[in-house]
Amino acid sequence: MTGGGLLVAGTTSDAGKSVVTAGICRWLVRRGVKVAPFKGQNMSLNSFVTREGAEIGRAQAMQAQAARVEPTALMNPVLLKPGSDRSSQVVLMGRPVGELSAKGYHGGRQRELFEPVMACLEELRGTYDAVICEGAGSPAEINLRRTDIVNMGIARAARLPVLVVGDIDRGGVFAQFFGTTALLSPEDQALVAGYLVNKFRGDVSLLEPGLEMLLGLTGRRTFGVLPYAHGLGIDEEDGLRISLRGAVRESVVAPPVGEDVLRVAVCAVPLMSNFTDVDALAAEPGVVVRFVDRAEELADADLVVVPGTRGTVKALAWLRERGLADALVRRAAEGRPVLGICGGFQALGEHIEDDVESRAGAVDGLGLLPVRVRFAPDKTLARPVGEALGARVEGYEIHHGVAEVLGGDPFLDGCRVGAVWGTHWHGSLESDDFRRAFLREVAAQAGRRFVPAPGTSFGTLREEQLDRLGDLIEEHADTDALMRLIEEGAPVGLPFIPPGAP
């Protein structure tokens, strides 16, 4: 028997689809429903490795955690990892299958993936009581509808009701809801059950006349108005949730335990991937994390992080153009802490041979670590476990670069020389004991009287954030109506709103 389901679409990118999907998953699992997330096609540089060694979007891994199930490749069968404005690596069922231009992908390859995407969805629906699907961008992208495998394409094929989320904080949400619906074909409109307002500030009673008018114009109800929630700190999908020179989190954390704070500067390199690695640092009381793009912004930093990137050679050129490379070299000479993760680790090495990612051939690294990197056609996807600084560490690896470590002190799979550290392991800082030991080392090297808080548990904080998402749904959405929608599908007889799809 096929389980219930729902497609969470959005009027725009970043309307809140990812967090609403996670919130619905957490609300359902708390009600005893066996639920799974799904996104047929995801474009993101933030990815995760499942236990079976498959690469999927981090947003779907986060949603699986919200649903209290183990993430699998079934939940995100197609992942696109941009390498430029015009091309992306295509990851199918967790494994890279090639690099395609946007025109080549939407011109034919995308439609070929429809059957495997639907097979994954049907397998999940046969296993779970409910599957909450996340759309991408907007379902009213009429130029892409013919080959769509993530919005109305799967809603039509699977007969899923559609809930459209709009970000009222941007303005124009009524026009977004109406226009999104009116640009869909009659067959697609028949599945659009209603709307969900996201990020509302103020008195909801002031909004209600507009919602009534929207009902009159479209024949579709609004299932809830979610308030603007500060500091959710949940993994994003296809863009930085912070701006450059902005704090990585908005929420208020406890004051530092020691006398000093630690300032962390993260170099916002091009094609930055898995910038979520620094979330665990930002969760520590007394640690201030900022993304930077200018050399002078490194001056007062106690730790500089060079994060992962889908373009190591491009990131190196960017660091050099902006004077950040010279600033990193000076820091290393002065014994001031630097951490390179994945692509950032590769950039800190001596030499790179890249005939795969950039096809640039031989390129000099920054020479801060005794490491030589050769890019291999096959991607390393792993979930390593190890020990560093006397603590157990878990992480995950996603990289084409193979590092040959020629010296220094061992550090996870990489090395350390003085105050410069490098590893391919994403997610290592989420291991609480290791993170605290690492921060103590950084504080000592930086001369700061900073003391890590003894009880910070990143896993507990993440669970609290997911519960907050579940609370938003439970407290501000019509959950009885939402449950009927998931179980019974879109109401029959929803009116057509002209003009429809051209």
The 3-state secondary structure of 212-263 reads HHHHHHHCCEEEEEEECCCCCCCCCCCCCCCCCCCECCCCCCCCCCCCCCEE
- Spatial distance between the Cα atoms of 135 and 190, rounded to a whole number of angstroms: 17
- Distance between CA atoms of 464 and 468, rounded to whole angstroms? 6
**Alpha-helix runs per DSSP H in 128-194:** 152-158, 173-182, 186-189
pLDDT per position as a tens digit, 313-330: 999 999 999 999 999 999
Please say if the pLDDT value at position 107 is more than 70. Answer: no
Angle at which helix 458-476 crosses helix 17-30, to 10 degrees, equals 90
Please determine, for residue 245, whether its predicted confidence score (pLDDT) is greater than 70. Answer: no
Q: 441 CB contacts (<8 Å, ≥6 apart)?
A: 337, 389
**Residue 245, CB half-sphere, CA atoms under 13 Å: how many?**
5
- If you average pLDDT over residues 370-383, what whole number do you get? 96
Query: Tell me: the pLDDT tens digits for 201-230?
Result: 999 999 999 999 999 999 999 999 999 987
157 has a pLDDT exceeding 70: yes
CA–CA gap between residue 365 and residue 20 (Å, rounded): 42
Q: How confident is the model at residue 243 (pLDDT cuts 50, 70, 90)?
A: very low
Contact 39, 164 (CB under 8 A): no
pLDDT for res 234: 63
Give the chain's mean pLDDT.
Answer: 92
Banded model confidence at residue 253, pLDDT cuts 50, 70, 90: low
pLDDT in tens, 438-486: 999 999 999 999 999 998 999 999 999 999 999 999 999 999 999 999 9
Give per-residue pLDDT as tens, 10-56. 999 989 999 999 999 999 999 999 999 999 999 999 999 999 999 99
80: tokens are 């696109």
Whether pTM exceeds 0.75: yes
Residue-wise pLDDT tens digits, 331-353: 999 999 999 999 999 999 999 99
- Give the residue-averaged pLDDT of 484-496: 97
Given the structure tokens 């603590």, which residue do they identify? Answer: 391
Rounded to 5°, angle at Cα 88 from 82 and 93: 105
Q: How far apart are CA 473 and CA 139, in angstroms?
A: 22
Q: What are phi and psi of 262, to 5 degrees?
A: -110, 130
Q: Which residues are catalytic?
A: 342, 426
Query: Distance of CA 169 to CAs 92, 181, 289, 355, 459, Å?
Result: 35, 20, 25, 45, 30
For helices 479-488 and 17-30, what crossing angle results, to 10°?
90
Residue 233: phi and psi, rounded to 5, are 60, 35
